[in-house]
Structure 1
Amino acid sequence: MAYLNPGAGAAREGRQGAAVADAAAATSVDAAGANPTKAEFDALRADYLALRTTVNALLAALRAGGQIASS
């Protein structure tokens, strides 16, 4: 649906930005004991970094599409 800009009288069409892949499934598991092992910590960190990359890609797509301002 077009948006009419009353000041300029021009129609602004919505446009889709680049696709961003869904976040991957979590690979970390609950800690087996009271304290997590290095492997459990590393798996959680890898999940965090993958999710951070996805969020940053979404923000970049929103900026490129003009939906949010650049910082």
Structure 2
Amino acid sequence: MSNSKAKAGKTIRVRLYKSINSCQGRHRISVRALGLRKLNDVRELVDSPSVRGLINQVSYLVRIEESA
């Protein structure tokens, strides 16, 4: 059980720093899946392979801020 708690505690902060107006529809959906709506919107998400995949897909729109 302590292993799952340790994994759940590791998070990353993601900031939307570019507009989604002129990007692909799939990328808009990925940004929304990350929970980002407006410019400079920040979300703290669990660091998992699925979240990392979404971030990699829209890496030109978001910035990662590692949280301690």
Aligning the two structures, in what range does the TM-score lie when normalised by the shorter sequence? under 0.3
**TM-score under structure 2 normalisation?**
0.27
Between structure 1 and structure 2, the one with the greater Rg is 1
Q: Per residue, is there more strand in 1 or in 2?
A: 2
